[in-house]
Amino acid sequence: MKSALLRVAVCLALVAGIGAADVQAAGDRPYHFGFKKSKNGAPASIDEEGFKPVIDKHGAIFRRDGTGKTLYLTFDNGYENGYTAKILDVLKEKKVPAVFFVTGHYIEDQPELLKRMVSEGHIIGNHSWSHPDMTQISDDRIASELNRVKESVAALTGQQEMRYLRPPRGIFSERTLAVSGKLGYTNVFWSIAYVDWDTSKQRGKEYAYEKVISQLHPGAVILLHSVSKDNAEAMASIIDRARELGYEFKALDAPAS
């Protein structure tokens, strides 16, 4: 019941304050990120997506080329569902770095978990303060959303730099990439994902394990949601199996090898 109420509160907060005055010109075409999933270790692809030239132009990441059998683990944290601490325990035990993309709600609700993330060597990334569709708000509002997260995380954890942004809901445009780029951000999408965010449709740790392992490919950016019980329970097995297959987990800001 508590989780359901939290989700409602977050959803209300996410849509609050988006008015017609914020909406940009119709020519600012919005895109919803999507990709062709990896099969048999072949790289995931966005070659058939109409937004690929925009991604390439602005240096956004969806996978990392030239990194060998390297994996980059990322989590989206909009609200807490009781599983992030367990995930952090596994990452600490296995010595695996990750990026946690957080919202304003998460910062205000879970300060101790954010402190732990930084103290244990993880990166906190920007997922915006109120999780708006950034293609529907002004340049100034984008800057405000991102600056508020960065400043709050810095004050709370001591992490002074914030270089990575995951656009809420994977919605972006050339304008949003350009505006956030001027603020010093690299937009980070993903090349491994599955429907893990629906807490009412968890299917067990074996399902989570299979969904991730079946998509592994060199340079993959893995997107998971820490609200998923399945992810928390499968995390150790996913890491162990990936390593058995010759993969190495690295920090997103590690130099290519």
Write down the catalytic residue from 122, 127, 131, 225.
225
Is 105 among the catalytic positions?
no
Tokens of 71: 């994996």
Q: CB-side exposure of 109: number of CA atoms within 13 Å?
A: 18
**Is the dihedral angle over the CA atoms 39, 42, 40, 215 positive or is it negative?**
negative
Is position 76 annotated as part of the catalytic site? yes
Taking 3-state DSSP, the helix, strand and coil percentages for the chain, each rounded to the nearest 5, stand at 45, 15, 40
| Range 48-57, long-range pairs (CB < 8 A, 24+ positions) | 51/172, 54/172, 54/173, 54/174, 54/177, 55/177, 55/189, 57/174, 57/177
Catalytic residue among 76, 133, 196, 230: 76
Instruction: Give catalytic residues, as residue numbers.
Output: 76, 225
